[in-house]
Homo-oligomer: A and B are copies of this chain.
């Protein structure tokens, strides 16, 4: 299946479940949509926090087409699940935002670590049992009203796999790059008993260690603090499927 075919299934309500581990080899994006009045501060926030917010495309206000990453796609219908925030509170989840569209909305497409799972697997690193999403005690750099904790994804692997995964993902800053931490979750204040996404973890199994990458859910936490009048985002585990092969974004 091509990303274009997958987006067509999503648009017509025939897609089921997450995009995690789907469409291997293509860049998946985290999505943030904001009114233009908040777009400048959010752009600066992304610039100051490139690990959680590697910005791959910014649309012109009101334009629902991501012309560079997925020409012909429609950001109002082609995402498998959207979060709707009002004044920073998550008020609903939707599969279609046409009724909420506004001419002043700017879309921010942020590279997702879901993009590199297929690359890890190709090097012989088995897929992590789950991809957990966790809030940390690490502060991001504020910009305007946007500020808040770094959110991370966590994967489990052996120490040798962690080294290989570090080497590999370092080549892809556009989808979060190298890990921000490896080992003890407490060192970054990650609470495994209360993940934002994924099952609570009682203990880490013998032989594997947790590896943490900056996560594109971070701006949703920042929005809780900035309380913008209106904001839309992807739902965790649901990436926007682009036409861009992840390998094409390799920096070396």
Chain A residues with CB under 8 Å of chain B are 39-40, 43-44, 47-48, 55, 57-58, 68, 141, 143, 167, 170-171, 173, 177-178, 251-252
Q: Smallest Cβ distance from A40 to chain B, in angstroms? A: 5
Q: Smallest Cβ distance from A177 to chain B, in angstroms? A: 7
Q: Which residues of B contact A173 (CB under 8 A)?
A: 173, 251
Each complex incorporates copies of this chain amounting to: 2
Q: List the B residue with the shortest CB-CB distance to A170.
A: B252
Q: List the B residue with the shortest CB-CB distance to A46.
A: B47
Is the beta-carbon distance between A170 and B251 smaller than 8 angstroms? yes
Q: Smallest Cβ distance from A34 to chain B, in angstroms? A: 12
Is the beta-carbon distance between A252 and B39 smaller than 8 angstroms? no
Q: Which residues of B contact A58 (CB under 8 A)?
A: 44, 47-48, 143
Q: Smallest Cβ distance from A247 to chain B, in angstroms? A: 14
Bound Cα distance from A55 to B171, whole angstroms: 19
Q: Which residues of B contact A141 (CB under 8 A)?
A: 68
Q: Which residues of B contact A47 (CB under 8 A)?
A: 43, 55, 57-58
Bound Cα distance from A48 to B59, whole angstroms: 10
Q: Smallest Cβ distance from A83 to chain B, in angstroms? A: 23
Q: Smallest Cβ distance from A95 to chain B, in angstroms? A: 28
Q: Which residues of B contact A43 (CB under 8 A)?
A: 40, 43-44, 47
Q: List the B residue with the shortest CB-CB distance to A171.
A: B252
